[in-house]
Chain A
Amino acid sequence: MELNASLSLVRPEVILSFSALGLLLLAAWREQAGRLISILAIVALGAAAAFVISFMMNGTNLSAFDGLLVNDSFGNFSKILIFIAAAISLMIAPRFLENAGAMRAEYPVLILLSCVGMGVMVSATDLISLYIGLELQSLSAYVLASFVRSDGRSAEAGLKYFVLGALASGMLLFGASLVYGFAGSTSFAAIGAAMDAEVGLGLIFGIVFILSGLAFKISAAPFHMWTPDVYEGAPTPVTAFFASAPKVAAIALTIRIVLEAFGSQILVWQQIIIAVALMSIIIGAVGAIGQQNLKRLMAYSSINNVGFILIGLATGTEQGISAMLVYLVIYVAMTLGSFICLMQLKDKDGGYREEFADIAGLSKTRPPLAAALAIFMFSLAGFPPLFGFWGKLVVFNAAVAAGLLPLAVIGITASVIGAFYYLKVVKVMYFDDAADVIVDSDDKVLVWTGGLLAAANSPLGYFAIPALGLWTAYAARALF
């Protein structure tokens, strides 16, 4: 039967939905079971990921529900990355939230529901499924941002994120309605076919609005204004989640809609993507320079990195998309690792520190943590021996191969500007007088995950290049 066949293709999402519902029931009776429910949620994510991997191994490429969703290797690759990032954000959260007095069972449930939304996002081949997936993910994110409601900054972050996110959803919907009106269909394939024939002014307006809405969701300039405030205010494990999984989902969604729906008219969207990429790179690099708060710094770094990732999309080639995916994998490892290091910055009274002054001379008081943070900073800056360099290299390589040499040159120049503030972190840690406020972290989970991610970002990561190259090329091929 058609419905059964379709349902078997969305098995990961179905598993996650049912586990979220079950865990919500469990939470209703055992309110203090936040840790247990987190562990069960990680198990559910693992089960969903196992199905995704089996789809990936079988090379499934089928559309489900009459063309609303597709199960292909591109979506599956993104889903694996999303589920891993979500599982890590679940692992690192309990201790932090317990300290803040906010470890409740709803945290893992909301992360699971958000993962359902992200699964729908990356496999959407229709404007309606795109919007529903996006909204499920965003709505969970708004709640997560203000999860520590006793903290004024957290509440402010949630409110700000909600209002601006609603505005972005409105723009996206307006664009979608224009595209539907002028193309006559909501399905990506039919929009692509209509665009082959003719691209009118109305359709171009629609595309601009859709891309603006999506640029907001991936926090690309000029729609990045919310990012520093939300990243600073949200609880750190939630910020780590925002900077990883939802970003992967929104970028994968952008890739799919640009290539499958608008792909035939590269001239229409390429200049938008190039402009957004350049603005993000430059604003991300320049805006970070004056920041005193490390979480705000990471927010600008994430804007900057999104710009580099979008360079791959601007090429519109298979090589470019595969390079983007490589960059995304490395970016997720770098950014999660950096936030895990920031979460270990605790003072004697158990308060979390996040200012530049607090990490002064960290290399003398806590050498391993300082070394790990330095590895992440060098990797984010793209210094050659570290793994972050490889991501930038493949993206620029693809840009040059597609004839976008000026874009690559500007990107490299801006990454030199960006290196300034990454190096500033290292300089403060290694060459300033010790402030001696940070004590040893008592959270073994953070120490271990941070250490593993640091190892992955060190030159050891280069061992993963053949496998990574193979899988990303395989995923990118599904779109062409």
Chain B
Amino acid sequence: MIQLVSFYIFASIVIASAAMVIFARNPVHSVLWLIVAFFNAAGLMVLIGAEFIAMLLVIVYVGAVAVLFLFVVMMLDIDFAELRAGFVKNVPLGLLLAIVLVAELVLGIGAYQAGAVKLGTPEVGVATVSATVPNIEAIGALLYSKYVFLFETAGLILLVAMVGAIVLTHRRSHGTRGQNISSQVQRRPQDATRNVNQPVGQGIEL
């Protein structure tokens, strides 16, 4: 019973917040509604026992992707009123795309009901996991035993991405001054200020 209730709560919030993503007038609000949708989708994943995917949704989509969206929306100066102005002009194209997508959905469901595609039989021990082991544990056990070398190599790939980003964008600029704590602390008033007896009627010399 409690599962059913929570399912309906999560599912209805997902749909409602997804609708709000589209209808919110302020793009920042759209992104915030998107985060609500992601959180509730993660709740749905927990309900079907896929807690690893739930965690990925929260960490990757909320933690990284949504924040990235937020950055882009806030940093780019997009005139949303102007974007909306073209709405009527683009309606036919949008409708056409929607029809294509609906047709594909119908086709897909029809093909699915006609019987599954004959796939290969999965390897024993990799794709088959016993139901009693939580799936985070199962993935971790595989990742840190059989795939440990590749896991570390994937870490090297991320390192290359980081080194690359720094190599291609880091510039040693000469105009800026970095902090030098000891010299800043040692600086005394007489080094930085001087008393001037300014004569009347003359310009000040800086």
Interface residues of A, Cβ cutoff 8 Å to B? 3, 6-7, 10, 17, 20-21, 24, 64-66, 68-69, 104, 106, 109-110, 113, 116-117, 120, 128-129, 132-133, 135-136, 139-140, 142-143, 146-147, 149, 158, 180-185, 187, 190, 194, 200, 202
Interface-central residue, A143, A194, A200, by most chain B CB under 10 Å: A143
Cα(A471)–Cα(B198), bound, Å: 90
| Chain A min CB distance to B159 (Å) | 7
B122 touches A139 (CB 8 A): no
Residues 127-151 of B at the A interface (beta carbon under 8 Å): 127, 146-150
Picked from B118, B126, B146, B163, the residue with its CB within 8 Å of the CB of A143 is B163
B49 at the interface (CB under 8 A from A): no
Cα(A117)–Cα(B167), bound, Å: 19
Chain B residue numbers with a CB within 8 Å of A200 are 118
Chain B residue numbers with a CB within 8 Å of A143 are 160, 163-164, 167-168
| Chain A min CB distance to B69 (Å) | 21
Chain B residue numbers with a CB within 8 Å of A140 are 160, 164
Query: What is the chain B residue whose CB lies nearest that of A147?
Result: B167
**Contacts A113-B160, A133-B153, A147-B167: A182 and B120 contacting too (C-beta < 8 A)?**
yes
Query: What is the chain A residue whose CB lies nearest that of B149?
Result: A65
Chain A residue numbers with a CB within 8 Å of B127 are 184
Picked from A3, A120, A183, the residue with its CB within 8 Å of the CB of B153 is A120
| Chain A min CB distance to B172 (Å) | 9
**Contacts A132-B157, A143-B168, A184-B119: A10 and B149 contacting too (C-beta < 8 A)?**
yes
Chain A residue numbers with a CB within 8 Å of B122 are 184-185
Cα(A110)–Cα(B118), bound, Å: 44
B149 touches A68 (CB 8 A): yes
Interface size class of B (residues with CB under 8 A): 20 to 34
B156 at the interface (CB under 8 A from A): yes
Q: Mark B163-177, 1 if CB is under 8 A from A, else 0.
A: 110111000000000
B68 at the interface (CB under 8 A from A): no
A185 touches B123 (CB 8 A): yes
B75 at the interface (CB under 8 A from A): no
| Chain B min CB distance to A70 (Å) | 13
Chain B residue numbers with a CB within 8 Å of A136 are 153, 156-157, 160
B182 at the interface (CB under 8 A from A): no
B153 touches A190 (CB 8 A): no
Closest 4 CB pairs of A and B: A184-B120, A143-B164, A185-B123, A183-B120
B15 at the interface (CB under 8 A from A): no
Query: What is the chain A residue whose CB lies nearest that of B163?
Result: A106
Cα(A183)–Cα(B119), bound, Å: 7
A142 touches B164 (CB 8 A): yes
A181 touches B120 (CB 8 A): yes
Q: What's the dominant secondary structure at chain A's contact region?
A: helix
| Chain B min CB distance to A46 (Å) | 21
| Chain B min CB distance to A146 (Å) | 6
**Contacts A113-B156, A136-B156, A142-B164: A190 and B123 contacting too (C-beta < 8 A)?**
yes
Cα(A339)–Cα(B61), bound, Å: 46
A104 touches B167 (CB 8 A): yes
| Chain B min CB distance to A283 (Å) | 31
Picked from A106, A110, A182, the residue with its CB within 8 Å of the CB of B119 is A182
Chain B residue numbers with a CB within 8 Å of A10 are 149
Query: What is the chain A residue whose CB lies nearest that of B150?
Result: A132
Chain B residue numbers with a CB within 8 Å of A139 are 157, 160-161, 164
Picked from A66, A116, A184, A185, the residue with its CB within 8 Å of the CB of B156 is A116
A-B contact pairs, 23 of them (CB 8 A): A64-B149, A65-B150, A66-B146, A68-B146, A68-B147, A106-B163, A106-B167, A110-B164, A110-B167, A113-B159, A132-B157, A135-B157, A139-B160, A140-B160, A143-B163, A143-B164, A146-B168, A149-B167, A184-B121, A184-B127, A185-B126, A190-B123, A194-B120
A132 touches B117 (CB 8 A): no
B153 touches A128 (CB 8 A): no
B154 at the interface (CB under 8 A from A): yes
Cα(A202)–Cα(B117), bound, Å: 9
Cα(A68)–Cα(B123), bound, Å: 14
Cα(A65)–Cα(B117), bound, Å: 32
A184 touches B168 (CB 8 A): no
